[in-house]
Amino acid sequence: MAFPDFAKPKALFVNAPHRVPDEDLIKLNELVDAYVIQQDRHDVLAERIRRAVAENGPFIAYVQFTDWWNLPEPWPLDEKLLSPLVDTGCKMFTCPGAGYDWADVEYLTSKGCYFANTPKSPALRTADSTAMMILQALRGSSEREADARAGRWYDSTKPLAKDARSSVLGILGLGTIGKLVSEHMQHFGMKVIYHNRTRLPPEEENGAEYVSFDQLLALSDVISLHCPLNESTRHLFNEQVFENMKDGMIIVNTARGAVIDEDALVKALDSGKVLRAALDVFEFEPRIHSGLVSSPHTTLYPHCAVANETFLRDQRLEVLLNLKTFIETGKPVNAVNVLI
C-alpha cells in the first residue's frame, strides 16, 4: 500500500487523468499528491468535495478533468461547491475548456484564488470544425445530403452554393480561435473582417480588417461567433440584429448557444433573412430548439467541435501544465484572472 509523501503539496482531482502519457503521470506523481473524487451533478460533487477536504485536506489546488460526454455536469463552479476548498487555503482552480462562463471567477478572485482554463487545445480543434461548418453552410451541404439520402437528385430550384472567394466572413471575437478561423478561411479566398471590443494591434490582425459591430452586420455574407458568454453577449443576436444583417446571410456558432436568441434565429431562417445556420452549441443543450431541428437550412452538431482522437490527451496535459506552473511559480500559465 502506497502512502502520501507529506513533503509534497496535495491537490484534489475530479476524475483521474486518463489518456495522459505514462511519463507525464510519473512527473505528476513527483510533483504532487493527488486525491481523486468522481465528477457528478452539482449537489453530489459538493458533498464529495466537503468530505475530501475534511478527511484529506487541505489542498493547494483543485484540478478538474471534466468528462464532457459520459458523466453528469457539475456546473456551476460556485461558492457553494468550492467554499470548503477556498476556506482551507486552496489557491488555484483549473478546468479544461476555453470558455468558463460556468465558473464564478469573480468569487475566486475576491478570495485571492486563480482560475485557469485551457485555451490552446480546444482552439485548434474548434477552428478546424468552424472552417468545415462555414464551407458546409456556404455550399448547403446538409440540404444536398438530405436530398441524396431521400433518393432526390440535384434540385436546381434550391439556392446555389455561395462562392467563398466572393464572400465576406465577419468574425465576432478575433481571439485565439477567431484568428485561426481567419487564417483558415483566407486560404479559401474569403475576405475577413472582424469586430472586438477593442481593435487589435495591426501585427495581430493577419489580413483581417477591423470594423464596427454595425458594419460587421451590414457587410458580412457569413458571421462566425467566437465571443464569450456574459451579460452583454447573452442574446446579442436577437430579432433586431438579424434585421440589420444582409439578406440571405449565413451564421455559424461554435462559441456559446445563448449568444443567439434561438426563437429569433428560427424566425429569420423561416423568412429567408438567414439563408443557413451551422451550429455546434445551443442555449438549452442537450435540448435543441425544435425549429432548428426541423429547418432544412441548418447544420447541427452536438457540441462536439473539439472532439477528435487527440483532444482529451492534449487538453489534460494543458490542465496539468497549469498545476505544474502554479506549484513552481505561484501562478498558473493560463490564469484568466488577475490577483491584486
Q: Which residue has the cell 484534489?
A: 12
**The amino acid at 336:** V
The active-site residue out of 19, 42, 235, 303 is 303
Q: In what order do the strands lie in the sheet with 274-279?
A: 209-210, 191-195, 168-172, 222-225, 249-253, 274-279, 298-300
The active-site residue out of 79, 144, 285, 313 is 285
- Phi first, then psi: what are they for 264, rounded to 5°? -65, -35
- Phi first, then psi: what are they for 172, rounded to 5°? -95, 100
Confirm whether 303 is a catalytic residue. Answer: yes
Q: From CA 65, how far away is CA 51, in angstroms rounded? A: 19
The active-site residue out of 256, 276, 297, 316 is 256
> CB of 257 within 8 A of CB of 285?
yes
Confirm whether 285 is a catalytic residue. Answer: yes
Q: From CA 113, how far away is CA 339, in angstroms rounded? A: 7
Catalogue the active-site residues.
Answer: 256, 285, 303
